[in-house]
Structure 1
Amino acid sequence: MRVSVEPMSMERGEAAAEVLRPHAEHTFAAELAALAAQDDRPRPARWKLSPWAVATYLLGGALPDGTVITPKYVGPRHIVEVAVTTLATDRALLLLGVPGTAKTWVSEHLAAAVSGDSTLLVQGTAGTPEEAIRYGWNYARLLAQGPSRDALVPSPVMRAMAAGAVARVEELTRVPADVQDTLITILSEKTLPIPELGQEVQAVRGFNLIATANDRDRGVNELSSALRRRFNTVVLPLPESAEAEVDIVSRRVAQIGRSLDLPAPPDGLDEIRRVVTVFRELRDGVTADGRTRLKSPSGALSTAEAISVVTHGLALAAHFGDGVLRPSDVAAGVLGAVVRDPAADRVIWREYLEAVVRERDGWTDFYRACREVTP
């Protein structure tokens, strides 16, 4: 049995003009097309690009015709190469890391580059049912006709199996353990039984699955050893250096700003660097120069949160300021990210402000702005 899958269609021009956040395959359609046109390397079955081209799409580079491929992921090259190679084998890929290490972002772009479709997605939560991974039923047809192909509602995973595409499962460790285990047969036997019909869906070549999970969620619904063996685990680290993290935040803020029609600030790099420095020092528990030990707050203070803080500050500067990103635009966002536990985190934040920020050259305006918003 095969389930025919009609991909979700949208004119790319419409996607760019009307959709708040176009899928990766629409946003970067020109880059994907340029790579496909010049990609003469072997491609696994049903892959839109070769593994080399997929890695180039994620890491960025220049093509022979001068086309510039923008980096989607800033990090060690070998991590991307291992992830891409895994998808070309019979093992599924598990992207593991602390919150904010771009697991979802990498997952989306891998699916877009490999299959041209990043929408075959299951969002894992504590309430994710088995039907979200296997299949469900159209109950009106089920009651009227009984179990039949027309009454069956395929899940994104089933559709990916039938189409030879990449499916995605986000936050796998948040999914209940008994629902997680429905993946074992799919990943080991490459088949999905439908006992109500006496049939099965067999995965065609090109099918694979990318799952993401947070390090901090390992105690929520630990993966069984049987399921973990079906995955090749790739750990996505936090950015190695402050400059790398500043680069990531700057790129993503610029992309988000364009999608929201926010004007590019004349010079916001200083504030981005301050936000990144604060987040890195507090989560590492030590100042950048290594001289002062710090207490770490309860929040993750991830790169993703830094992007959110700077984007919010850019919106404030655009709509209520003079368009220049200033300390007063990011101070409230920094406070909100750091102080998650009002009792403990507020003490940690005040100590950091007085012991580190106040004494740092060139940070006087930032210190004053943060003091004004700190209760």
Structure 2
Amino acid sequence: MPVSGTIEESTAQTAHATPESPSADVLRPHAEQTFAAELAALAAADDRPRPVNWRLSPWAVSLYLLGGTLPDGTVITPKYVGPRRIVEVAVTTLATDRALLLLGVPGTAKTWVSEHLAAAVSGNSTLLVQGTAGTPEEAIRYGWNYARLLAHGPSREALVPSPVMRAMRDGTTARVEELTRIPADVQDTLITILSEKTLPVPELGEEVQAVRGFNLIATANDRDRGVNELSSALRRRFNTVVLPLPATADAEVDIVSRRVDQLGRSLDLPAVPEGVEEIRRVVTVFRELREGVSADGRTKLKSPSGTLSTAEAISVVTGGLALAAHFGDGVLRPGDVAAGILGAVVRDPAADRVIWQEYLETVVRERDGWKDFYRACREAGV
């Protein structure tokens, strides 16, 4: 039978309400906290139809992710730089009864997009299941307070709802990260949830029925194919949206610059504009090695074993800014990013080091204006 209001009351204390404004000491606020002013401005200006329990209309959610300017002059910063249609399809999926699977190689902003979609749709991105090889079934369904369970047996008071159960009850968005890392038998606990929109609790002879507005966003890594493949039954419950790598170097430089600037402000690091030249160099190196050809198309290259994703470029540049801030003059220079690039490229010490040395000698050494970068990379590899 459907769960009564009593079980809702018994789990209310463990449910995640919309996060409050973060303390100034919080290292990484949630999306709905960081961009609260933008979300509020969008809600005030949004006069389009909203699905039940959505904070914004699909149009406003797309604007929040892609960026733009509201009629009152409020600037909405882009959260995702990529094809507009991808965002529109993802948002539209969440307005239907199908769950959303964001698929792509590592570093294509799957988690970032997932978080911002949940923040814009539900005002809460914290209903999260992190997928690993050890994720148990309880993380998706529900668990138990074992002290109460042993003392009084199965009861509503002893039940500990999962993030998915809370999202079903409240009509909000749940998130599952790295779905293909989760064991197959645990993955399949989602089938009934996504098809029947119910979560049985056989120990109590009850079930939780999803409230309108509930949906689920999952992410999966292209490189994890064959680890824990999704069953055909589960895959049919998702609408899959593939997030591509940035189409151009300029787009990737823009993404890296924006994210590094956001991270840098929270870490009190130097401003990004002074290091744009080095950011472009890092992006160029990653793209050339990733694509197996130099930017001018003249030199074919071997690709290393690592993914050399946009996320890794952000990490390299952020680390370089920290070096510049604490051990330099605050300006990002080749020596600040060289070691980070080496660490990102050379994952297999035997094969990748040869690939990196060939790239340095055949491409970097001959490139105008890259002499300092070449020397820094050579020194880092000694």
Alignment of 1:20-39 (within 5 A): 20-39=27-46
Partner of 1:365: 372
- Give me the whole-angstrom Cα distance separating, in 1, the residues matched to 2:92 and 2:225: 25
User: Percent identity of the aligned residues?
Assistant: 85
Deviating beyond 6 angstroms after TM superposition, the runs of 4 or more aligned structure 1 residues are none
* Aligned partner (choices 125, 132, 138) of residue 125 of structure 1: 132
Taking the TM superposition and a 5 Å limit, the aligned residue runs for 1:149-160 are: 149-160=156-167
Alignment pair present for 1:218 and 2:186: no
Q: Which residue of 1 aligns with 2:115?
A: 108
Please show how residues 20-169 of structure 1 align to structure 2 within 5 Å: 20-169=27-176
CA contact (8 A) 1:43 1:49 kept: yes
Residues 107-131 of structure 1, C-alpha deviations (whole Å, 9 max, x = no match) = 0000000000000000000000000
CA change 1:139–1:34 in 2 (3 A) is same
Contact 2:167–2:214 at 8 Å: present in 1 too? yes
**TM-score computed with the length of structure 1 as normaliser:** 0.98
Show the 5 A alignment for 1:180-259.
180-259=187-266
Structure 2 CA distance for partners of 1:151 and 1:317, relative to 1, 3 Å: same
Return the alpha-carbon distance in structure 2 between the equivalents of residues 179 and 279 of structure 1. 36
Following TM superposition, by how much is the alpha carbon of 1:263 offset from its aligned partner in structure 2, in angstroms? Answer: 2.6
Q: Show the counterpart of 1:7.
A: 16
TM-score normalised per structure 2: 0.96
Against the structure 1 CA distance between its residues 64 and 147, is the aligned structure 2 distance closer, same or farther, given a 3 Å change threshold?
Answer: same
- Whether contact under 8 Å (1:100, 1:302) holds in the other structure is yes
Deviation for aligned residue 1:103: 0.1
1:16–1:302 distance in 2 versus 1, CA, 3 Å: farther
Distance 1:265 1:99, change over 3 A: closer
Q: For residue 343 of structure 2, what is the aligned residue in structure 1?
A: 336
**Structure 2 residue ranges without an equivalent (≥5):** none
RMSD between aligned alpha carbons? 0.9
2:58 and 2:19 map into 1 onto residues whose CA distance is: 26
- Give CA-to-partner distance per residue, 1:211-258, whole Å, 9 cap, x none: 000111111000000000000000000000000000000000000000
Q: Quote how far apart the aligned CAs of 1:267 are.
A: 1.4
1:141–1:151 contact (8 Å) kept in structure 2: yes
Structure 1 residue runs of 5 or longer lacking an equivalent are none
Cα distance, 1:244–1:96 mapped onto 2, change above 3 Å:
same
Contact 1:16 / 1:27 at 8 angstroms: preserved in 2?
Answer: no
Deviations 1:155-180 (A, max 9, x none): 00000000000000000000000000
Question: What's the offset of the Cα at 1:150?
Answer: 0.3
1:356 equivalenced with 2:368 (yes/no): no
Partners in 2 of 1:168 and 1:136 — Cα distance?
A: 18
Give, in angstroms, the shift of residue 138 of structure 1.
Answer: 0.4
CA contact (8 A) 2:16 2:127 kept: no
**1:303 corresponds to:** 310
Which residue, 265, 269, 275 being the options, matches 1:268?
A: 275
Deviation at 1:367, TM superposition (A): 0.3
Matched-pair contact (CA < 8 Å) for 2:100–2:240? yes
The superposition leaves residues 240-292 of structure 1 with CA deviations (integer Å, 9 ceiling, x where unpaired) of 00000000000000000001111315610100000000000001000011111
Q: Is the 8 A contact 2:18 2:124 kept in 1?
A: no
Query: Number of residue pairs matched?
Result: 373
2:24 is paired with a residue whose SS is helix
1:364–1:56 Cα change, 3 Å: same
Aligned to 2:285: 278
Q: Aligned partners of 2:73, 2:81: CA distance in 1, in Å?
A: 21
